Amino acid sequence: MTASAGTGRSDTERAPRSFWFDPRFAIGIVLVIASVLGVVTVVTVADSSTVIYASREMLSPGDRVQSSDLDTRSVRLGSLGAQYLAEGDIPRGGFVVTRPVPAGELVPTSAVGDVAGATAASIVVNINGELARSIGEGSVVDLWSAKETDNNQFGPPSVLVDSATVVRLIARDGGIADRSAQSVELLVPRTKIAAVLEAIANADALSLVPTSIPVRG
């Protein structure tokens, strides 16, 4: 073994190789990681969509609805998702509509009632006189009645049903009418059905009084 002149090192020894670092290599790694994270974020956001039920046609209080009666939409509602009826939330027996839901709108959970616990039913009454302008589909009204006395006179009126819901206004030919219609379908508590049917059978004078009047700007 010989040593290099003047160095004292053997020919087989090598000087340690210095580490070379290219900043472009680090930038490339960062870009790859950012790209992967971006894809994961996009996929996560896409997967956060919820399938919500939407009304295929106008839903009125008292309607019994099955999942086959509704459409579904995939939407991103975030924290508001719990306020709407999601796929899989409808029981096997369906549900009862408790307030109007216009056609094409998402079905809110507040408009859904349990079929087994339904306590109201729809009934059609003939109203004496013209309806108030504020009365329409979905309005909450009090049903007043006055019993007929002698000589085609009527006694003092009293509230027969309070806080009934207007399901629809019916024209004389059975179609949908405007506010001047004299036949109205109401959603009333089942405990009041007998009293309403009795008033109808006795030809009592029936009137509707809205419980609230909308503010006009």
Per residue in 108-164, pLDDT (tens digit) is 988 888 775 567 788 999 998 889 988 988 889 999 999 988 777 889 999 999 989
- 53's enclosing H/E stretch is strand 50-55
Q: Which domain does 98 fall in, by range?
A: 50-114
Q: Does 203 lie in the same domain as 124?
A: yes
Residues 6+ away with beta carbon under 8 Å from 159: 142, 143, 144
HSE-CB of 72 using CA atoms within 13 angstroms? 12
Please tell me the total count of domains within the chain.
2
Q: Does 199 lie in the same domain as 126?
A: yes
Q: Does 125 lie in the same domain as 74?
A: no
Residue type, 189: P
Exposure string over 58-77, b if 16+ CB within 10 A, otherwise e: bbbbbbebebeebeeeeeee
* 26 belongs to a structural domain: no
* 94 belongs to a structural domain: yes
* 2 belongs to a structural domain: no
Domain C-terminal end among 114, 138, 167: 114
Dihedral through CA 67, CA 71, CA 74, CA 78, nearest 10?
A: -70
Q: How far apart are CA 27 and CA 39, in angstroms?
A: 19
* 175 belongs to a structural domain: yes
Q: Does 174 lie in the same domain as 107?
A: no
0.75 surpassed by pTM: no
Domain C-terminal end among 81, 99, 114: 114
Contact 206, 147 (CB under 8 A): no
Contact 182, 124 (CB under 8 A): no
Q: Does 169 lie in the same domain as 143?
A: yes
pLDDT by position in tens, the chain (length 217): 555 555 555 555 555 555 555 677 677 787 888 877 777 666 555 556 789 999 999 998 878 899 999 999 988 877 777 889 998 888 888 888 888 899 999 999 888 887 755 677 889 999 988 899 889 888 899 999 999 887 778 899 999 999 898 988 987 665 555 554 589 999 898 899 999 999 999 999 999 999 876 655 4
Q: Does 187 lie in the same domain as 144?
A: yes
Q: Does 130 lie in the same domain as 146?
A: yes
Q: pLDDT at position 71, please?
A: 94
Sign (positive or negative) of CA dihedral 100, 106, 110, 112: positive
* 106 belongs to a structural domain: yes
Q: What is the CATH number of the domain that holds 61?
A: 3.90.1210.10
Q: Does 60 lie in the same domain as 133?
A: no
Q: Does 84 lie in the same domain as 161?
A: no
Domain C-terminal end among 114, 136, 169: 114
Q: pLDDT at position 160, please?
A: 96
Q: Does 149 lie in the same domain as 203?
A: yes
Q: pLDDT at position 217, please?
A: 45
Q: How far apart are CA 43 and CA 31, in angstroms?
A: 18
* 10 belongs to a structural domain: no
* 14 belongs to a structural domain: no
